[in-house]
Structure 1
Amino acid sequence: MAISVLLSPSRYVQGKNALAELGTYITKIGKNPVIVADDVVWGLVEETVSTSFAGEDLPVKRVGFGKFATAKAVDELVELIESGSHDVIIAIGGGSAIDAVKASGFLADIRWVSVPSAASSDAPTSALSVIYTEEGEFVEYRFFPRNPDLVLIDTQLVANAPVKFLVGGIGDALATYLEARATWRGQGSTMAGGRPTHSAFALAKLSWELLWENALPALDAVRAKTVTPALEAVTEANTLLSGLGFESGGLAAAHAIHNGLTAAPQTHGLTHGQKVNIGSLTQLVLEGAPTQEIEDFIEFTTRVGLPNTLTEIGLSNENTKELRAIAEAATVEGETIHAMPFPVNADMVYDALLAVEGISRRVRAERGLPEPELYVAH
């Protein structure tokens, strides 16, 4: 029988003003931490983190971060860790900063911590990093033998962040159940290195259910910069449940198509979750999902504010060259699309991408939803 594997971080902490307790948790992990955060994020958290660290007699050493987790950025962090004899590295910020910290912590053989500043992706909990080029094109996945020692997310920070980050996190998390379901039905392996566990599949489904119930009121809470039970539920769905669900439940077509989309310059500037949502809808079309499921998904994601047409990611059916390139990149050997329960090739992905525009426009018109607006990359 195939082996099933479940991975998880050592400790997950979530709640309003949880950042004030960061020092309490870090002191149990290391005594000479280094923090990685860009200038904007550090401006928001410096006072709270410094006070928290002072209470535990921990030094405050912080370095900045660029835009993407590149191989160069990872190597520079390794040099920093080794020159400063740091024993724990902490990422405060978005998914790319977190991915760079995980990769550098592994290479330097120290412990690592994820402190997401928004509920914008499921990267914080996982034992892998996504590496990009300087332009934001997907390069590779890097896998590690363990997950973060701590994931801490302050839901007041989530409430204060721009609403687009929570929208992107919802798009990323919605894919979790769809991809885990496809992997479960097939014979593919997960990022954890085995078949999906029942628990991971259940967590992926719970993430999906919490999002459908709470996403819209959670977005209202962020617009009001307040923490509500709905926002707590969506934060957990986006971060913990989606993180465990994707890693031990399986990735399939949605994230492979996302990876292909990163190569199209028209999509640059979109969040990870926005591009993943196009991958999710394309996967539903690709697998011949029930019409009701596809149409409900289009309505729900439109109301959330996620793109479900090519127009909304800067493309059209006339961009045949780019769409062919996306389809080819999504189906290269080793991509997660091959966890689908049937063989998939580039022609199938290309046809599904072409179908998305018409299906979404029809459903939006029939259900009284706004027409898509053209995205222009900056």
Structure 2
Amino acid sequence: MTSNLIVRGAPQEYELKLNAWQDLPKHLERRNLKKAMIFHGDKSWEAVKNYFPELTKCETSFYYYGGKCTDDAAAHYAEIAEKEQTQVLIAVGGGKVADLTKLTAYRLNLPIIILPTLAATCAAYTPLSVVYDDEGVMLRYDIFPKATDLVLIDPQVLLESPYELMVAGIGDTLAKWYESDAIISQLAVKPIEIQVAEFAARKCRDILLSESDAALQAMKEQQLNPSFIDIVETNILLAGMVGGFGDEYGRTSGAHSIHDALTVLPDSHKQLHGNKVAYGILVQLMIEQKVAEIRQLLPFYHQLNLPTNLKAMDLSLSEEDFQQVAERASAPDEMIHFMKETITPEVVIQAMKELETLTIDAWS
């Protein structure tokens, strides 16, 4: 753990309101940006393109981002952007689209605008990108010295997003409390920045546990309600504040290290990021020997259909698989070592196996 603490609190501008995307031309005009390169998903773009505004005063080019945030993809699109003399990069999509756009923009020192189509991660809010290799194995995350310039959120767009991705986003955001608490609870003195991160992390947990059911009901009924807005802003804004103010003290520890380790298994790639992180929370709690807390979370997990064990993710691990995952999770540079416990492959394997027994017995 480093003693350095750099606050990267928020995008330069952030706005959530109905029809927020329609203000994009105005935002581009007042920034004097006249040439934009727009990254988007595949199915998501078909679902939201009717919400995207006409940019009559800005020359635009549209690119399907390719489904991955990799170094090669960033280099490829950076080359195109340079040839086109692009002035701004705009991401329309989920976390990987946002991450690739940020990674590409950083290489070119260009402004970044993000229009989220999902509330599944805080990627729209944070100045970092999670980078994978071509096989989908997580390599690293890069933190940038510049915030995103503008985030525009239309809650109606997110209301129409896939239900299961919102659930995964809730699982991912729930980790903010458990991962940051594992680190911050070790501090004898908490600077104000850390206190802000801790407050945001606790609010993430409290809002998710109390309002997720009503928010998901809004999606089922396709009718906006206050809980839906709260969950959207918890998954994006509050979640982003935890790492934004806490830096390494509020970013990730055990749960995400377990997620990252699972990516070495090809069969895990069919599972959503947030589902694997939600599972990672329970493994982390098992390492911390907080079995009572696991039992308290299990009804919430089952209510939302978040995975409580490997079996729930259709993963059947051999002893070799367990070893491979555990070695990756406990690698020297993994953030799981920010926890106070001594982490070894044996500790990880034991926690995973004990969790399997506990959760299967609890609901058998």
Residue 269 of structure 1 aligns with which residue? 270
1:112/1:159 Cα in 2 relative to 1: closer, same or farther (>3 Å)? Answer: same
1:308/1:144 Cα in 2 relative to 1: closer, same or farther (>3 Å)? Answer: same
1:15 aligns with 2:17: yes
Q: Partners in 2 of 1:241 and 1:98 — Cα distance?
A: 18
Residue 36 of structure 2 aligns with which residue? 33
1:216-245 alpha-carbon deviations (Å, 9 max, x no partner): 111111122222111100001111111221
Of 221, 224, 244 in structure 2, the residue corresponding to residue 224 of structure 1 is 221
Find the residue that maps to 1:332 and give its secondary structure.
Answer: coil
Residue 152 of structure 1 aligns with which residue? 152
Pairing of 1:246-261 with structure 2 (within 5 A): 246-247=243-244, 248=246, 249-261=250-262
Contact 1:170/1:273 (<8 A) preserved:
yes
Residue 371 of structure 1 aligns with which residue? none
1:70-112 alpha-carbon deviations (Å, 9 max, x no partner): 1111111101211111121011111111111000000011111
Give percent identity, aligned residues only: 28
Residue 167 of structure 1 aligns with which residue? 167
TM norm structure 2: 0.92
Residue 186 of structure 2 aligns with which residue? 186
- Which residues of structure 2 form unaligned runs of 5+? none
Contact 1:204/1:245 (<8 A) preserved:
yes
Residue 290 of structure 2 aligns with which residue? 289
Residue 135 of structure 1 aligns with which residue? 135
1:28/1:321 Cα in 2 relative to 1: closer, same or farther (>3 Å)? Answer: farther
Q: Partners in 2 of 1:59 and 1:69 — Cα distance?
A: 25
Contact 2:40/2:65 (<8 A) preserved:
yes
Letter paired with 2:361: R
1:307-328 alpha-carbon deviations (Å, 9 max, x no partner): 1111022224x52211211111
Contact 1:184/1:196 (<8 A) preserved:
no
Per-residue deviation, 1:20: 1.9
Per-residue deviation, 1:290: 5.1
The number of equivalent residue pairs is 355
Residue 348 of structure 2 aligns with which residue? 349
TM norm structure 1: 0.89
Contact 1:15/1:232 (<8 A) preserved:
no
1:135/1:252 Cα in 2 relative to 1: closer, same or farther (>3 Å)? Answer: same
Moved over 6 A (4+): none
Q: Partners in 1 of 2:47 and 2:30 — Cα distance?
A: 25
Of 241, 244, 248 in structure 2, the residue corresponding to residue 244 of structure 1 is 241
1:200 aligns with 2:194: no
Find the residue that maps to 1:124 and give its secondary structure.
Answer: coil
Letter paired with 2:114: S
Letter paired with 2:38: I
1:3/1:69 Cα in 2 relative to 1: closer, same or farther (>3 Å)? Answer: closer
